[in-house]
Amino acid sequence: MSDIQNYLNAFLYIVVRTNILQQFGWTLAISMILGALFLDKFKVLLW
């Protein structure tokens, strides 16, 4: 029984860690896309 519980705990830990990494990746990608758009608008204003 303890082996199954250890396996479940490890599985949950991995799932939580990957979810956090995915959320961080999404926020990073969205911020990069928004930054690129704002930079393009800023360049248009400068030129």
Per residue in 4-25, pLDDT (tens digit) is: 899 999 999 998 888 988 889 8
What is the tens place of the pLDDT at every residue in 33-43?
998 888 888 77
- pLDDT value at position 9? 94
What pLDDT is recorded for position 6?
A: 93
SS (H, E, C) 3-47: HHHHHHHHHHHHHHHHHHHHHHHHHHHHHHHHHHHHHHHHHHHHC
Confirm whether pTM is higher than 0.75: no
